[in-house]
Structure 1
Amino acid sequence: MTTEHRQAAPPAKGGAAPRPTTDPSAASRSALQDPKEQRRAERRSRRYRWDIKYSPYAFISPFFLFFAAFGLFPLLYTGWAALHSSSMLTPNDMEWVGFDNFTRLWDDEFFWTALRNTFTIGIISTVPQLLMALGLAHLLNYKLRGSMFYRVAILTPYATSIAAATLVFAMLYGRDYGVINWGLELIGIDRIDWQAGTWSSQFAVATIVIWRWTGYNTLIYLAAMQAVPNDLYESAALDGASRWKQFIHITLPALRPTILFTVVVSTIGATQLFGEPLLFAGDPSGGTQHQYQTLGLYMYEMGWINRHLGRAAAIAWTMFLLLIVIGLIYWVVTRIIGRSTGEED
């Protein structure tokens, strides 16, 4: 019998058409009942849980790996070397001396000279640098034509190489053919041997630091100033306050945390000052009388010139402890400022 002569199936009760026998959910349930599919689903679920749980650690692991290799390990090894007497020529031959390398620094006049030079150069470079940065940021905070050009231009010294900038300043401060001495002679002042004098050499090194880092701090202050609400300035202007009074009573109080941050960062940078004084005259001794030798230069001279690895490591850890003290001072001052601000509010 052909399909044309087959009788149609009787309709279901109630006259409704019969439901299709194909059910997607039933098919999926039957597929899941397969042991292989169940194992695959479990593996996919397990991989998903592992991805959610461990992927963030994998993303941040490169930082910790590089920090452990190039930060933590050198720090620990330097601390271990500081407790031994060792030569740079034979670094594996170490003799335990305990804290002798640290106690010898108390009687080392060159260490105290380097510490004093680091402090004075840090003062005469940090204070003018931050004051100039604060003034420039205040000017750039107003609407100026071509302000973006000035912001990019003021950051150019920071992008300049330390070696290139220092060599240019070394030529400017040259005794016989320097442009600065030539300008001094035009106004009747005798030539100055900038590298020979204590204050002259430290002033010259400080000007390199000022020139290179003023623009960087200017942009930090400018970003903080732009976060101050304009309503405060408008209210002060309506009350008759001049721009100077607005700067004193509105801008400076709002910038206190930022100013403290730049002071601490500049102090840390001054403690680690190395490239500018080294390239200024190419002498790790910092002049014939160590007049501008910093702690970084003294550590370099002790390690690479005198070959005393243990003593150089002790100087490095002393600098590290100084930075910790600076950090603690920053923390205490921050707490004091926070409490005073809370009391005012």
Structure 2
Amino acid sequence: MSVISPPKPSRAPEAAQPRRVGFSQRLGRWDVKLSPYLYVSPFFLLFAVTGLFPLVYTAYVSVHEWHLIGGQGDFVGFQNFVDVVQQPRFLTALRNTFSIFLLSSVPQVILAIVIAAVLDANLRAKTFWRMGVLLPYVVAPVAVSLIFSKLFADQSGMINALLGTVGVDAIRWHADPFASHFAIATMVNFRWTGYNALIFLAAMQAVPRDLYEAAVIDGATRLRQFFSITVPMLRPTIIFIVITATIGGLQIFDEPRMFDQLGQGGSDRQWMTVTMYLYELGWGAQKSFGRAAAVAWILFLIIVLIGLLNFAITRRISSTGSTQKPKRGSR
């Protein structure tokens, strides 16, 4: 006979002990929380050293009487700003800056969109043409300025020689204000149009191809597809290009400074920009770092205001276009 053993008495459930978290687990949690901030910290540290600190220090210099040789002087408050605004040369430089900016930024954006549309088509040797439009961007600005200054020379320039063949009188590129602004804007467009075209090209390639296929079925032409599909889909990219062109265009320095051998913006300062006037105040005859810093801060505030205005206008246009509902057809 088999003996059946009596059942063992069941143990009472032990009280749940708190689970201890090891050092490696705590380290892993801190790694998950802090690692994203550590990854982006080099940018913010570099920005604080090269961007934020100079901006704050320039504001400190602008409210002092500061000489290049004598160093820091007395605290003058906003007197440097008042003196700069009252100078006729500053107003001339501000007018020249806006004129060159408008002559360069508007055609630049239009040409960049057109070039991007051509590159987006079925072309042979696409890589060659895309690298070709980027080539002017990698050329040094000084080299571009020297070449274009010779092309737009008043007496022996190739542009005036070509205009003479069609019966147009020679243009005084270095004497007439508007002509000099146009020549300098041509340099800017030569360098930056291809770069912006590649940005627009990347945005065009992200447009769903189903939209173009539906438009072809509906009988839309290439021109109709461009204005009804491509341009509306490029609104965020256009906002980006306009804002960056505004920031860069208002800080133009290399092209106008190298447009002639003297580098002073012309005999009557007819193409002197704000940055050139800033350089003249700080390192010219006056050697006034206080006034130069005041000009830098005025230019910074102008760029911020125009950038915010551009962003508000383009964002409103973009939101209006995206929220517009299609009209229902009559039943």
> TM-score if structure 2 supplies the norm length?
0.86
Structure 2 residue aligned with 1:242? 221
Q: Does structure 1 retain, via aligned residues, the 8 Å contact 2:278–2:292?
A: yes
Q: Deviation at 1:47? A: 4.7
Structure 2 residue aligned with 1:172? 151
Structure 2 residue aligned with 1:77? 57
Q: Does structure 1 retain, via aligned residues, the 8 Å contact 2:242–2:310?
A: no
**1:181-231 deviation per Cα after TM superposition (whole angstroms, max 9, x unaligned):** 222233333333311211111111011001001101111111111121122
* Gapped regions of structure 1 (runs ≥ 5): 1-37
Q: Does structure 2 retain, via aligned residues, the 8 Å contact 1:157–1:212?
A: yes
Q: Aligned to 1:193, what secondary structure does the other structure show? A: coil
Q: Distance in 2 between matches of 1:248 and 1:61?
A: 42
Q: Aligned to 1:155, what secondary structure does the other structure show? A: helix
Q: Distance in 2 between matches of 1:247 and 1:67?
A: 39
Q: 1:59 aligns with which of 9, 17, 39?
A: 39
* Gapped regions of structure 2 (runs ≥ 5): 1-19, 326-331
Aligned residues: 307
Structure 2 residue aligned with 1:232? 211
Amino acid in the other structure paired with 1:272: Q
Q: Distance in 1 between matches of 2:234 and 2:23?
A: 55
**1:280-332 deviation per Cα after TM superposition (whole angstroms, max 9, x unaligned):** 11444310111101111111111111201011001100111012112321332
Q: Does structure 2 retain, via aligned residues, the 8 Å contact 1:126–1:267?
A: yes
Q: Deviation at 1:54? A: 3.7
Q: Distance in 2 between matches of 1:52 and 1:232?
A: 41
Q: Distance in 1 between matches of 2:318 and 2:114?
A: 25
Cα distance change of structure 1 residues 331 and 260 upon mapping to structure 2, 3 Å threshold: closer
Structure 2 residue aligned with 1:343? 323
**1:222-261 deviation per Cα after TM superposition (whole angstroms, max 9, x unaligned):** 1111121122112222222111111111111111222222
Q: Distance in 1 between matches of 2:322 and 2:131?
A: 37
Cα distance change of structure 1 residues 250 and 175 upon mapping to structure 2, 3 Å threshold: same
User: Which residues in structure 2 correspond to 1:1-345 (within 5 Å)?
Assistant: 44=24, 47-91=27-71, 93-305=72-284, 306-345=286-325
Q: Distance in 2 between matches of 1:52 and 1:236?
A: 48
Q: Does structure 2 retain, via aligned residues, the 8 Å contact 1:278–1:286?
A: yes
Q: Does structure 1 retain, via aligned residues, the 8 Å contact 2:235–2:318?
A: no
Moved more, 324-333 or 211-220: 324-333
- Pick the structure with greater CA Rg: 1
Q: Deviation at 1:101? A: 1.2
Moved more, 228-237 or 152-161: 228-237
Amino acid in the other structure paired with 2:224: K
> TM-score if structure 1 supplies the norm length?
0.83
Moved more, 324-333 or 304-313: 324-333
Q: Distance in 2 between matches of 1:339 and 1:61?
A: 33
Amino acid in the other structure paired with 1:313: A
**1:53-77 deviation per Cα after TM superposition (whole angstroms, max 9, x unaligned):** 4444333332222212111111001
Q: Distance in 2 between matches of 1:282 and 1:304?
A: 18
